[in-house]
Amino acid sequence: MARVAVVTGGTRGIGRAICEMLRDEGMTVVANYGGNDDAAKKFSDETGIATYKWDVGDHQACLDGCKTIEDEVGPIDIVVNNAGITRDGVLHKMSFDDWNEVMRINLGGCFNMAKACFPGMRERKWGRIVNIGSINGQAGQYGQVNYAAAKSGIHGFTKALAQEGARSGITVNAIAPGYIDTDMVAAVPEPVLEKIVAKIPVGRLGQANEIARGVLFLCREEAGFVTGSTLSINGGQHMY
């Protein structure tokens, strides 16, 4: 029976690439999304992947959404916590709401989805959780204290939860993408983007499929000895 995978923020960008790659591997994939109904319908029409709408920052909505998926699709074996937002600004101009919303969705969403799916994985003695962090959670970034803190928190969350799941056949890993050619990065002004690319040793932005391939590896049966790890996919921009 095919493994059931849920990808949050799965209808565009990196999330979409992950959904399509897991689908092509033979998994039953469900994409969560938080906002654009028309875009979600277009995604489903183009990919054949079902979509379910809820706010990953809402704890009860995650519990209810995952329960609906389990009832309608099957037990959730794989969770990819990809959903995230930015509310950039230097600290002295950043509102509490800008701080709180990024923490609520980017980091809180990981906790909420794990709470919804971890118990079932423990019962079945198998699970894969992949959390999408960021190079900016590793190295920091000017004007992103909220985003960098949330993404850095994801890396710590990953290591701690990996220890809890290891005896139950559940692996928990993170991927820290560098700058990827997505809509989010396309919104960066061209002069700024040129300076970013100049700092990437391989001399280009990454592609969403390059992140998806990392996720696919971590979700496979053969990756059972890999847990608590952060895989950096950033073209050499940050090494440690």
Active centre residues (catalytic): 147
CA 18 to chain centre: 9
Helices and strands in the chain, H and E counts: 10, 7
| Spatial contact of 32 and 203, defined as CB atoms under 8 Å apart | no
Of 224, 221, 208, 238, give the one whose Cα is nearest residue 173.
Answer: 224
Query: Which phi and psi angles does 32 have, rounded to 5°?
Result: -90, 145
The helix (run of H) or strand (run of E) holding residue 67 is helix 59-72
